[in-house]
Structure 1
Amino acid sequence: MLVGAVLWTTMVAAPPAEAAPPAPSLVPTSSLADRYVPLTPARLMDTRTIGVTVDHQDEAGGPLGAGTVHELTVLDRGGVPASGVAAVALQLTSTGATQRTWITAYPHGDSVPGTSNLNPEPFQVRSNLVIVPVGADGKVDLRNALGSVHLIVDVQGWVPTADAFTPVTPTRLLDTRATSALTAGATVDVEIGGVAGVPASGVGAVVIN
């Protein structure tokens, strides 16, 4: 489990109706548009030879090799504004991996964090939705660790620049490989408040991977 951002918002539980409804929904007191703007999914990157993107940038460039970092421009593409964007929601999909590896997505200009956002495997197509803060020049960086792999990136939405969203350095909070795997039906409590840059109070939600 990785923590990558903090959402500052006050959440109020809606009271249940008398007829015992499902779990009550949460009603935010601030505008949803202050926190997340959904988009019609648009392809920003496709390294396959058949790859086509929304504006023909970052297409058919060939697989990412070991240690390769691809600088992906996300601002002013696929419905994302040219400014006022704190982070973007990206669907990462891998295919054609030559060996087990991992993809790390992070703001352009930052150091590579010691975390992963997607874990490709040979002979498998894998996908994961991530929220990545936008770095210098309106870009995010995508790094492949080992072997080579094709990567497909679709933008799903964006987070406006506002006090409601505070990116933090991705930090690993849980890794059961060091202890034991969770059995069927098991749960685990993970301490988040006051850890890895997340304040101990005043936090409505966190972005984890």
Structure 2
Amino acid sequence: MSKKGGGNMLKVNYCIFAAAFLIQLNIAKEAYSNFDAQFNTQCPLTPSIWDDTPFEGKIIKNNNLRKKVGSPDFAEGEFINITGKILDSNCVPVAEAVVEIWQADASGNIVLASNKIDKNFAYTGTAITNNLGQYNFFTIFPGVVDKQAPRIHFKVKHPDFLPFESYMYFPNNNLNEFDSSLRNILDKKEKNLLISAYTETINVPVTYNFNLTLEGVNKYKRY
């Protein structure tokens, strides 16, 4: 082969290599762009609702409210499961967030009320989110208190975020439109953020999904 022919072949090989490199570079850029967009999506913040009279009882360090620790007896009422995620404003899961809840029993009594309370019900519970920001509680469907809609009070604590409190409501409940706290939220989209989603399940218990988005971002924005 002549030197001229060898030079042409070298140029062809170089062009093929350069074209392949550019294709791979564009693929990498697109993949990074999609990855970057995934973690820069803005999640709508969950509206906060703070009680005028803060809860002063003891929060039990257990995510099963249906019965007290060490007791074989279950509380009265419909057994439900609550699942969800704690997210930052970029939709990134918040790990190791402390999620506390308190609620009424099936008859609408609260833990600080009279001796009418259900002695087998825990009334409060605690869960800690995993690496995916997930939490769950086993509890019962709450009764009506002071003509307010059935609801569960949530409090979220994490060292990288300000403390957060709000209510979780249940879908398609007729009392939601009369609940004083929900009525104070004028924006319908924000109001819907406080209403949990019913999840179809084959087995009991009935499951409700409730995600909360906190203001602020994780220190480590990408995994």
Scaled to the shorter chain, the TM-score interval is under 0.3
Q: Highest Rg: 1 or 2?
A: 2
Query: Hey, which of these two has a bigger chunk of strand by percent?
Result: 1
TM-score by length of 2: 0.25
TM-score by length of 1: 0.26
